[in-house]
Amino acid sequence: MKKALVTGANGFVGSALVRELLANGIEVIGVDIADNDLCSMTGLKYVKLDLADSDKLPEVIVDRDIDVFYHLAWAGVSGKLRSSIQAQLNNVKYTIDCVNASKNIGAKRFVGVGSIMENEALAVTNDQGYIPGAVYINGSGIYGSCKYAAHALSVTAAADIGADLVWAKITNTYGAGERSKRFINTTLKKILNGESLKFTSGEQNYDFVYVDDAARALRLIGENGKMFCNYLIGGGDPKPLKKYILEIKEVLAPDRKFEFGKIPFTGANLPLEEYDVSLTEKDVGFKAEINFSEGIKRTMDWLRSEQI
């Protein structure tokens, strides 16, 4: 790979991917709705564009030698828009628009970036008689369903136009640079601020991957992934969430009280085999290098530096 385009380049995972690509001598065209926070990195060309205008991409992007088109832009990964059906459906449309745009600008490969929540949405939908609770509906349900819709429709669109598509599914990213209200960030901030620490029973299975590892996985998927395959990106150590939480306590807050079973859990609990990353390791050569203890230390160090 010599040149890549990254939508959502200014986001948490997107900016990590940009840095990973540049560090490996790959030119990057970054596309994002936000102003450029990546500054003037050598090898980076930044384009400010709302994906509502994604049909203009072939006009705005003059390069016709792009090897991989990475699509990460997605409004409402967290916050109020996460439970907005219209906002999430817009994301689905923009994803298909980007598949078509990648073909129109002559990109050799399109890499869509989805989520393990696609699997959760399918599990809930296919569970006879199961009625998801408000926490799930207002949290991952709409988001995960639309991620799956984007995945399924991208495959169809790419096959229809003869595009080379690979799909990546990320389990749960965390790390320095994240400003959202997702689980790891929120928990670490509560520790910093001396707030109470209350959780579900923590029986649901999880897998966390540090953002730098996730970025490296995406680079390798773009380079080595097989056409029309999908690859899970995870830390490779799935287990019940409670074990991760207790690791946070041991490493960062051994003297604090952690209370379990205080928050209801109404989502899907995927079996551990759903977190199997062996195909990703076999096909693209990725294996996570930053374990959870090290990752949360790095994240906490960054959060402390932000408070100074």
Q: What's the pLDDT band for 64 if we cut at 50, 70, 90?
A: very high
Closest CA to 116 of 221, 234, 12, 228: 234
pLDDT (average), residues 179-202: 95
Residue 169's CB is within 10 A of a number of other CB atoms, namely 22
Share of the chain above pLDDT 90, in %: 84
Q: What's the pLDDT band for 134 if we cut at 50, 70, 90?
A: low
Please check the confidence at residue 180 and state whether its pLDDT lies above 80.
Answer: yes
Distance CA 131, CA 67 (A): 44
Q: What's the pLDDT band for 85 if we cut at 50, 70, 90?
A: very high
| Range in 13-27, 50-64, 120-134 the model is least confident about | 120-134
Distance CA 173, CA 235 (A): 9
pLDDT (average), residues 222-231: 98
Please check the confidence at residue 223 and state whether its pLDDT lies above 60.
Answer: yes
The per-residue pLDDT for 130 is 76
Please check the confidence at residue 104 and state whether its pLDDT lies above 70.
Answer: yes
8 Å CB contact between 77 and 16: no
State the amino acid at position 123 in one-letter form: A
Closest CA to 94 of 147, 141, 46: 147
pLDDT digits (tens, 9 = 90+) for 112-129: 999 999 999 998 888 888
The per-residue pLDDT for 73 is 97
The per-residue pLDDT for 131 is 76
pLDDT digits (tens, 9 = 90+) for 278-299: 999 999 999 999 999 999 999 9
Distance CA 39, CA 42 (A): 9
Residue boundaries of the structural domains of the chain: 3-179+207-238+273-289
The per-residue pLDDT for 217 is 98
Topology of 3-179+207-238+273-289 in CATH? Rossmann fold (3.40.50)
Q: What's the pLDDT band for 138 if we cut at 50, 70, 90?
A: low
The first and second tokens of residue 19, run together, are 């840095």
What's the whole-number average pLDDT of the chain?
A: 94
Q: What's the pLDDT band for 26 if we cut at 50, 70, 90?
A: very high
